[in-house]
A and B are shown apart, each in its own frame.
Chain A
Amino acid sequence: MNLPVEYVLPKYQEALYKAAWAILQDPADCQDAVQLCFIKYHQQQGDFRDEDHIRKWLFRTVMNQARDIRRAFWRKSRTTLDESYMAPQPAAGRGQALFEAVSALPATYRIVLQLYYYEDFSVREISEITGLSESAVKKRLSRGRSLLRQQMKGDCQS
């Protein structure tokens, strides 16, 4: 099966943007990653099992696009050209503290945390999306949560 981009794009673009954010933390680059992901989706004639299969494909693709952008030679030296690409303003208080704590983590942990906490993917699904082994996902998840809790000084547990 395949679903039209007119259906898939509005439904998933915000979630994919957040996933790209876990890697890039730059509004314009994340926007590019999402756009390229959907271009790829529209161009390929994939035969998906169901919508869940499409969802995982989209997350895997947007992360690959985000990694490509992060590696790209021009990213280091480019400047922001469009002032409309503003960084997010998290809510004040605990939400802001958590946002800042996650943002300070290495990207390897942020990706796994994002997929697990925000998208509700299982360890096996995260393994499928990221290409990591399930044990590696568990380790990163455990280590990421540990680092997060340290940074939050127990705020998340209260």
Chain B
Amino acid sequence: MTQEQKEKEAYRQAFASVRIPHPIDPGEIIRDRKTTKMKWYHKYAAALSAAMILLGSAGVAYAADLGGLRTTVTVWLNGKAREMEAEATPDGYRFSDPADGDTAVVSGGVAIGEDGSMRRATLDEAAEALSMEVWTDEAGRTWLGDREKKWDITDLFDDQGLAHGSYEGRYYDIERHPDDDGFSISASDTPAQGTAYRALGIPN
């Protein structure tokens, strides 16, 4: 064995322990092709969920850009609109209510485009993501909330933890992540090709 071969062997042994934590299922990649219109990648979606808890409820913000660093937005909380100020932070957006000081921080927002490239989410996208939430209640029912509407989606999930629902021209793709007990959500005005969506029905 030459010196170089010895070095290569030693190197390979040293890095044998570097292994992918969660081997990727090809089916996951194939599904992603159908649902990555503007998907919030699950690791960062988890951060977003944490921020949503601070808000106290799912809310949506419609940006009205004032031209400065700070922007006034309308946020939905418990079915009611409320004015909040939004400003960009180094790693996301901060929403605050000047009236009572409530603050919600959205950090780590990243959008993944059709070609797989990543970029920082815009304020509108952060607001849209804030509008959506999936949670499981004490009775074990899983709910999708969007702005002031919510639907019981417990029975929509397939064996792979995927659920696809539509309501008035809006198409939702939800994926359950058993690893971190969370969900990723994406929504679009156009259905993903080859995906069957079930009508969500009248919201609760």
Contacts and interface: CB of A to CB of B under 8 A. Distances in A.
B47 A39 contact: no
A14 B19 CA distance: 6
B55 interface: no
A14 B20 contact: yes
B65 interface: no
Given A9-B29, A68-B117, A74 B13 contact: no
A89 B17 contact: yes
10 contacts: A9-B26, A14-B19, A65-B116, A73-B90, A73-B91, A78-B47, A78-B108, A84-B22, A95-B16, A99-B17
Contacts, number: 146
Interface stretch (B2-10, B148-156, B183-191): B2-10
A131 interface: no
Interface stretch (A25-33, A46-54, A122-130, A132-140): A25-33
A23 interface: no
Contacts of B14: 90-91, 94-96, 98-99, 102
A31 B108 contact: no
Interface string B107-118: 111101011111
Contacts of B19: 14, 17, 88
Contacts of B17: 88-91, 99
Contact of B107 (A21, A44, A74): A74
A35 B11 contact: no
Interface stretch (B38-46, B66-74, B78-86, B167-175): B38-46
A156 B7 contact: yes
Q: Contact residue range for chain A?
A: 35 or more
Contacts of A147: none
Contacts of A44: 115
A69 B110 CA distance: 11
Contacts of A37: 116
Given A77-B91, A99-B15, A117-B12, A39 B36 contact: yes
A99 B7 CA distance: 13
Interface of A: 5-6, 9-10, 13-14, 17-18, 21, 27-28, 30-32, 34-40, 42-44, 65, 68-69, 72-74, 76-78, 81-82, 84-86, 88-91, 94-96, 98-99, 102, 113-114, 117-118, 120, 145, 156-157
Given A81-B180, A117-B8, 6 more contacts: A17-B19, A35-B24, A42-B30, A74-B110, A74-B120, A94-B14
B90 A156 contact: no
B13 A5 contact: no
Contacts of B33: 39, 42-43
A28 B21 CA distance: 8
B12 to A, nearest CB: 6
Nearest to A8: B26
B181 to A, nearest CB: 10
B32 interface: yes
Which one of A34, A44, A82 has the highest number of Cβ atoms from chain B below 10 Å of its Cβ?
A82
B15 A36 contact: no
B29 A5 contact: yes
A127 B32 CA distance: 31
Given A36-B118, A78-B108, A120 B21 contact: no
